[in-house]
Every structure is written in structure tokens, then in C-alpha cells.
Structure 1
């Protein structure tokens, strides 16, 4: 598995985002380029505004080359696929991820995946991780620490005009999903996107909080892994709450 991590491309494409969203990064002391880690956090709506900023910051500020685990849908269109690969992304297939970890890359993981970026009304900053544990098992296998992080701002840049729930919860649509192949294609309705009222995002400052590295060496069973995953989610929610306070303080001081 060859990673196409183009640092100049990343910096060039993220410069406009940095100017537009003026990101603030907290917790730089927890970023260590000397030992690869798995960076795990929340994904904001549509997933294309937060990721480039994180990848650019980690590499160009801290020399941490992260490989982002991307949803399969990013690799269907040739032009878009090429752009995603230049950001160091690989398709979310376990063998691919294992290959890049063998090469010593740090990993950027959004356990909510495609469903978390295709948010519906009322789901801002919700972690929709379902029952995914594979990323933690890989971290254990390669002795990677977990570096949790939280991203604030991205779920507020769009006001949704069309809510995907209108389709997904429709009884006729539910009948269609009883067709097995169609249900698999639509991932039980998870790939139905909500649509924004306006295509241009609001200019809202972004905030990112990195947290202390966490070792998984003490985890011996699947039950302990489940408990750890639940605590990891709570840590991210707590960091989001803290970032909201930081944002409020910044706003009040202006």
C-alpha cells in the first residue's frame, strides 16, 4: 500500500480554509512525531472542512504524517479519488490500514465514518460510532497510543434545508430497504444526505482540542475494550463542551 501524502498540496488547499475559519488548536503538547499514534475524533458535517485542517496542522506544524481512513464512497469518482489520496487517505479496508501502520504512519480515524458526516437535523456534534471496535483492535495490534481530539465549528457552518430523515423514515422507503441488495447499496439509508439551504458555509471559527495519549496495553478483553470506547466518547464530548466555553470566552473578549 503506497501512501500519496503530498504536503505541499495539503498546505495549498488548506490555506483558504485557515483564512476563512481561523482555526485554533489546543493541546499541542500531546502531539509527538517520534512515535506513531492513532488520532480519534468526531467528524463534522460533510467531512471535507475539518479533515484538511487537521492533516495540515499535524504535518506542517508537528511533522506528523497521518494517513486518514476514508469512507469507500470517496474512491468512486476518479478526480475526487485523486484529491483524497493526495491528502494521505486510504480506503477503510482493514488490510490497507494494517499495511500503512506497518510502514509507521500515524492514523487519523473518524469512527462515525460516512454516517457521521451525513448528519440530520438535531445531530450536531453527535458521535454516531455504532458498534465499531476494529480501529481499537488495530491500535492494540501495533501498540499505537490513542490521541483523542474534538473538533468544534464544522457542524454549524451549514443550515440544513432538506433533512434526510424525511426519506429514511418514510414507510415506502423502509419497504424498499427490504430488498437486500438495495439495502446494502444504501447502507440501510445511511448514505442518504441532508442538503444545506446554502452551499456557501458560514464563516464560523473552528476549534480543535487534542487530548493526552492513551495506552491500550491494560485492556485484556472485549468487554474492557467496549468500556474504553464508551469512555473515549465521553472524553470527546467533554472536550467539545470545553471548546464551547473557550469559544464563548474568545467571543466575549472581542
Structure 2
């Protein structure tokens, strides 16, 4: 409760009769939140409509005895006295906010029972290390409401930790089954249906099969591949590996996903939060080192932002720097490297304005420069286009959706390749082999997708209409 809330409610409560029950509807709603939302918490999602209605009725009825007891437990004059104590405590806390050095996660609701006070905005500007997550359609008792998971919010904000200093590798908690179902059964359901991703992998004998059976079952494994426009392939990868391999891919991601400098007022749960929840870690040698030590699956895009934000006419071009360090690290830990490629961005999006266009627009040019000023250390030593990691948002137009295709190449066993550790020429040769394999994979997919009878969203929709929405849509014969 804020000072503004207290100033609004205390004068009213002081003049009401002391025998007025606290179970008065409007006051009760302020004290315990929306009873309907609270009653929904204990209801199972997999019940029939009749069972759900029955459980809801029983849950709501069971609350009545507790509500009636409030009148005996809390008298109106007692409530006023406690609110006055709270008012003095809030005033003292506000005077000390400037000295708070700890990380703060602030949860703000959109449906407040009292008029909005801008309290979240004030705290965000006052506290030095503050992140805000804004819930537009929830009340100010959101911790008591159905469908709200505090741990999910903490994980998404990259604030879960087991010790004083947060370690993005060792402190990571994988998504729960309910989080997975919510992400892919609700939040990204339509997006996934539009992509309709096809996952292919290569067995040790070179045979290409549908699914991920050609991918090793145990780590450490390093996936190295092409970064599609706006990283649109990421969530299909997350779902594919969680669904079939029951494992999380630790994506080496750009620092912009994790630094607090770019937090905004009234920020709702976003793609940034989802990336963190599904295994993304800041790209760095030490984080990759730790992931290999833990035998994890690691995803690396050597082309980075330059590929994900490529210019017009640069689709499916690799912008890899001449730095084979990840090959040496893989050899040191005996990691299996899996080159992969994915195609489909040109079936979904068309670039209208790229970086070259945007930097010629005065206001936008200044915004891009300002946004990137704090993002230092990303390939500063790499010259040419491969080192151009300037963040911006290209203007794109959607197309009639096609389909997304993935192919994981033949695994490359790095165990026993000690010569790579000491011979840079040998390391570079393996690096070029991986790069060539990624290019070959994408050429294969671009050619074979022409043979896919279900590349069109229209045919896929008709197929699912006759066989069910969860039916696996066929594709070309590998």
C-alpha cells in the first residue's frame, strides 16, 4: 500500500462508524482482492466444464466462513489504527529508498482497486537496480490470483540466484511442465502453427531422418549454425529439443537480453523474459566453459547480431569472424559439434528498411547510436562487416506464411583432437569445415523445400482441419 493509497482511504475510514463490519463489499475487495479470482486458484485445468463449475462453486462457498470471521477478528477502529502505523512506516521507507543497493523486482498491476498512483513509475525511477514487470489485466492482489506464478516472473527477469552473486549458468532453473504448456499452448501457439517447423537430423551413416534422432542424447554438445532474421527460429528450437530430447539448449545470447539499462516503465513479460526462461545466457567464453563442464547442450551463432539483423539481399549469408576459438574449447572438453542450418525467413518476412536505410533518417540514426552506446565489448576487435554488431530494428512486412525447416548435420566428434589445441591451422581447418557444412545444409533445405506439398499454410490448415490441430503435418521425403 502506498502513501497515496493511505491518504485516500484513511480520512474515509476515520469518519465511518467503528461498528461498520470490515466485510463491507468494497472494503472486503480491497483487503483480499477479487474473490472470484482467488476462488479460481484451486481449480484444476483439465476438468470438464461441469466439474469446473462445481469446484468453483465449492471454492467460493468455502470462503464464506472466513469472510464472516473477519468482522470478529478485525474491528474498524483496529484497522484504522494499523493503517496509521503503516502510514508512518511507509513514510520512513520512502526516505531511505535512495540508499537501496540491492536488486529489486517490482510487480505492478493494471487493475487497481483504488485510482492509479504511479507508484511503480516512482519506484522505478528512484531505486538504482530496479526491474518492473507490469500486469495489465490483474489486480493488486495478483499473488493470490489464479494463473500467476511468481517463480516464472523471477526466472524471466533473470533474478533467480542461489548465492550473493548470480551465475547465469549454475543458477538456471529449467521451465516446468506448466510453464512449457503455457508458452507453447497459449502464448506462442499461433506463432508455432504459422511456422510449422520441420526438424531433420543426420545419422552417423549420413542418412537424413525426420526428428532429432541423429542428435546426440547426452552432452556436452555444441550446436553451431545460421541466425535467421530477427532470431525467428529460436522458439521452434526450444520447443523441439524440450519436446523430443527433454533437454534445454543454453543459447549464447547478446548482452542486451540481460542488462538492466534497457528496462522500461510498465514493461510486461516479454520475449526477453522468455529467452532467459528457456536457457539463454550472456555470450562469453566463461559461460560456455561452465556449460561444457556441466555437459549441457550449447547453441552458438558465430554470425551473431550481424546475421539476425542482416540487410536486404543478404538472406542466408554467413557473417562469421575469423575466430576459431570455440573449436579449441570444444576440443578441450571433448565436445560433439553439430553444424545446423535453418531456412524459412524469406517465406515469412520481407525487409523494407534495413540498417543502411535507417541510419540515413536523422532521428532514428540518433536513437540507434544512443541505444548502442552502452553495448561495448561485442566483437570490438573484429574488423569488417563480421564485427558490425549494431543493434537496430529493421522495418519488415509479413508475407503469407510458408514453413520453417531445420537440418542438423552429421555430428563432429572433437574428443581426442588434441592437435587442434596447439595448432591454429588445424583449428581453422575444422572451423571452415563447420562453416561449409552449415552452408551446404541451407542449400539442401532451400532445394528440398520446393518439394514440400505442405509448404503453403493453406494446405497445412486443411490437413489439420481433417486430422486434428495437433497432427504432425507431412513434408518432403529426405
**How many Å apart are 1:11 and its aligned residue?**
5.2
Choose which of 395, 406, 413 in structure 2 pairs with 1:196: 395
The 5 A counterparts of 1:8-47 are 8=177, 9-10=179-180, 12-14=182-184, 15-27=189-201, 28-47=212-231
Relative to structure 2, which stretch is displaced further, 126-135 or 88-97? 126-135
Q: Is the 8 A contact 1:41 1:148 kept in 2?
A: yes
Q: TM-score of the superposition, structure 2-length normalised?
A: 0.46
CA distance in 1, matches of 2:452, 2:393: 31
**How many Å apart are 1:184 and its aligned residue?**
4.9
Which runs of 5 or more structure 1 residues have no equivalent in the other structure? none
Total equivalences in the alignment: 244
Choose which of 243, 251, 260 in structure 2 pairs with 1:60: 243
SS in 1 for 2:290: helix
Which runs of 5 or more structure 2 residues have no equivalent in the other structure? 1-169, 202-211, 264-268, 381-386, 460-478
SS in 1 for 2:412: coil
Q: Runs ≥4 in structure 1, deviation > 6 angstroms? A: 185-188
The 5 A counterparts of 1:130-145 are 130-145=321-336
The 5 A counterparts of 1:235-246 are 235-246=437-448
**How has the CA–CA distance of structure 1 residues 71 and 11 changed in structure 2, closer, same or farther, with 3 Å as cutoff?**
farther
SS in 2 for 1:247: helix
Q: Is the 8 A contact 1:7 1:59 kept in 2?
A: no
Counterpart of 1:83? Answer: 274
Cα shift readout 1:157-201 (whole Å, capped 9, x = no counterpart) = 22111121246699xx9xxx9xxx799589675314352343x46
Counterpart of 1:106? Answer: 297
Greater radius of gyration (CA)? 2
Q: Is the 8 A contact 1:168 1:189 kept in 2?
A: no
SS in 1 for 2:452: helix
**How many Å apart are 1:213 and its aligned residue?**
0.8
Higher relative contact order (CA 8 A, sep 6+): 1
Counterpart of 1:205? Answer: 403
**How many Å apart are 1:55 and its aligned residue?**
1.7
**How has the CA–CA distance of structure 1 residues 12 and 43 changed in structure 2, closer, same or farther, with 3 Å as cutoff?**
farther
CA distance in 2, matches of 1:184, 1:206: 33
Tell whether 2:451 aligns with 1:249: yes
Tell whether 2:173 aligns with 1:4: yes
CA distance in 1, matches of 2:390, 2:433: 28
SS in 2 for 1:159: strand
Tell whether 2:409 aligns with 1:225: no
**How has the CA–CA distance of structure 1 residues 12 and 153 changed in structure 2, closer, same or farther, with 3 Å as cutoff?**
farther
Q: TM-score of the superposition, structure 1-length normalised?
A: 0.83
**How many Å apart are 1:19 and its aligned residue?**
0.8
**How many Å apart are 1:70 and its aligned residue?**
0.5
Relative to structure 2, which stretch is displaced further, 106-115 or 26-35? 26-35
